[in-house]
Amino acid sequence: MSTESAPLTSGHVPVSKSLVQLRKATDMRGSLVVAELGADLPFVPQRFFIVYDVPSRDVRGEHAHRTCEQFLTCLKGSVRAIVDDGANREEFLIDSPDIGLYMPAMTWGTQYAYSPDAVLGVFASLPYDEADYIRTYAEFRAAVNA
């Protein structure tokens, strides 16, 4: 895409402490969202996965990671997300591919209210490791308060 007709903003711009605005270019040919790995995301991803076809009544996530960071972006549709660092809890609507939700390590994350067409892309800072997961909120709170 020509940056003359649709300039890209440089880098990521924090919208809040958790939301990141990704660079977007739109012209008559469509839209493009870009994230340079190692520059635009808060970490260099080592894993990527997609969550889709989630019934709207179902809840996903409901866990934290000891060391892994995550970056969520809704590639299509919308998802509601709750992030909780043990002291503060915030809820976000992720409904555009140029907005990402950054979840540092030791953040309890819950995703719900998936639209029927939702496609959630998740970048992770580390490969899958079951030992990194904290699966109960009580264990998460104990780890945060330790």
Q: What is the pLDDT of residues 58-114, one digit of tens each?
A: 899 999 999 999 999 999 999 999 999 998 899 999 999 999 999 999 999 999 999
Long-range contacts of residues 75-79, Cβ cutoff 8 Å, at least 24 apart: 75/50, 75/119, 75/120, 75/121, 76/117, 76/118, 76/119, 77/114, 77/115, 77/116, 77/117, 77/118, 77/119, 78/113, 78/114, 78/115, 78/118, 79/111, 79/112, 79/113, 79/114, 79/115, 79/118, 79/120
Residues with catalytic function: 63
Question: In this model, does residue 52 exceed pLDDT 80?
Answer: yes
pTM of the model: 0.84
